[in-house]
A and B are shown apart, each in its own frame.
Chain A
């Protein structure tokens, strides 16, 4: 089945440690996105990538980093510089530059920093 796979689903880390969340898609979509979902704040865009080897900061990129070495993969690293990393992280994809914006989402990764 085509879709977006995020891993791990749940992750616990100590403060000060970097964490990488995986996102893989087999939809052949050009564009991929990372959102952060917090209660009462909706979804906020962290980073997005329209094509391989290119990505841009979203609204809340500080403390995060990404890479896009392959079309299928868009991993997110939550660095120790992120002041409040405990959250639910959602990866999404869309068809690309001429897309009308419909997003396809993964099931999310819940990160808890102890």
Chain B
């Protein structure tokens, strides 16, 4: 079965620090990759996604992620975090193409940014 691993469960950073959240998945076939974010009191929303093409994907609010197929990884990065980035971040993988596509989520990483 597909699995998604997020290595950091709770991260605390000062404003302006750089961020990298790890994500690895187990499926060896065609995958679509996502990062979702849940700000305090808000619903989950898409941060960025990778379907094909350039493995470096840019999302909203200055976030980016790099798909490294050989490492089964899709790490999330931001050069300089802000207090408003405090949220929980979920990596997700959607395996296959066509038909029902099962989306599997990681357990999430809580990011706390200290002003």
Where the two chains meet, the residues of A that have a C-beta atom closer than 8 Å to any C-beta of B are 31, 33, 35, 40-45, 48, 50, 56, 90, 92, 97-103, 105-108
Contacts and interface: CB of A to CB of B under 8 A. Distances in A.
Contacts, number: 57
B105 interface: yes
A43 B103 CA distance: 10
A92 B7 CA distance: 25
The size bracket of the interface on B is 20 to 34
A43 B88 CA distance: 12
Nearest to B104: A45
B94 interface: yes
A41 B101 contact: no
Nearest to A101: B94
A100 B100 CA distance: 10
Interface string B29-61: 000101010000011111001010000000000
A34 to B, nearest CB: 12
B98 A42 contact: no
